[in-house]
Amino acid sequence: MHIFHGSDVPVACPQILSSNRLLDFGPGFYTTSSRDQAWRWAQRVGERNKTRKKVVSSYEFDFEQAKENLALIEFPVTDIRWLDFVTSCRSGVNPAVYYDIATGPIANDTVYTTIQLYETGVLSAEETIRRLKVVETGNQILFHTEKALTYCTFVDYLEKDITNGKETI
């Protein structure tokens, strides 16, 4: 399976990183199967870090072997199981520690606004899921352990430098 990571630097040697932010699936190395989604993430990282660069690194991921040999949790859709997992991770309780890899939809800013309404009791779990079913969430694959990263092999990267509002490769 071909996967991608968006950043402002090439990432040939992925690492498990902690974050000062609470993320959907906890700390680790985040990737996606969508090159377009990786470019969008690279844009955000470049803007946040003020580097004016977008870089998408690509990898080959032996998903079948990983499923056979590692502890995985998969969320094919936004459902109550996914909602509970994401809200736990984003509240500082990290159920991802029991898994080498977690996969599933992304709780981006639009999605997370709905989740916050659920967390504060404004929406029920059922209403939250109903609202999320109509939102394009994309996907994420989190490598949570060093062992998991052994199933991820760097292929190459593409870099875009943003100068005067124009992209150059």
Residue 153 · residue 43 · CB < 8 Å: no
- Residue 140: predicted pLDDT: 94
**From CA 41, how far away is CA 33, in angstroms rounded?**
13
- pLDDT tens, the chain, 169 aa long: 999 999 999 999 999 987 777 788 888 999 999 999 999 999 988 888 888 889 999 999 999 999 999 999 999 988 999 999 988 888 878 776 789 999 999 877 677 788 889 888 999 999 988 888 777 778 999 999 999 999 999 999 999 877 655 565 5
Query: Strands, DSSP E only, in the chain?
Result: 2-7, 29-31, 53-61, 72-74, 101-105, 139-143, 152-163, 166-168
Pairing of strands 152-163, 166-168: antiparallel
Six token digits for residue 62: 């032996």
Domain that holds residue 78: 2-168
**From CA 153, how far away is CA 41, in angstroms rounded?**
20
- Residue 167: predicted pLDDT: 60
What is the strand order of the sheet 139-143 is part of? Answer: 29-31, 139-143, 101-105, 72-74
Number of domains in the chain: 1
Residue 96: DSSP 8-state? G
- Residue 138: predicted pLDDT: 85
- Residue 154: predicted pLDDT: 97
68 Cβ contact partners less than 8 Å away, ≥ 6 residues apart? none
**From CA 134, how far away is CA 145, in angstroms rounded?**
32
